[in-house]
Amino acid sequence: MTKTTHRLCAALLAGAFATAATVSIAQTTAEPTHAEKKAAKKQAEADKDANVAQAKADKQKTESQSKANEAAADANLKNAKKAD
């Protein structure tokens, strides 16, 4: 075979492999199964519960910080009154 024929065969083989790779990738995007849908629903519920718990924790932290700031302000006021 000539050099040109070798190059042509190599190009054809490369194209065939590229097409086969594309087809195999395209086949992996099938519809989710019932179990996958159920797992996704459970995950969404768990995420929601985690978000609610985080929001409650953030609220409690904010309230605690507010109380601490108020106590510090009261202490500063007391100290200022004593200084007079």
Average pLDDT, the chain: 84
Whole-number Cα distances in Å, 49 to 36, 44, 53, 73, 78: 20, 9, 6, 36, 44
Place of tokens 């194209």: 15
Average pLDDT over residues 46-68: 94
Residue 18 vs residue 34, higher pLDDT? 34
Q: How far apart are the first and last CA of the chain?
A: 108
pTM above 0.75, yes or no: no
Task: Please tell me the predicted confidence (pLDDT) of residue 4.
Answer: 80
Average pLDDT over residues 37-47: 95
For the chain, the structural domain boundaries read 1-30, 34-84
Question: Per residue in 3-27, pLDDT tens?
Answer: 788 777 777 777 776 766 555 554 5
Task: Please tell me the predicted confidence (pLDDT) of residue 2.
Answer: 76
Provide the greatest CA pair distance for the chain. Answer: 108
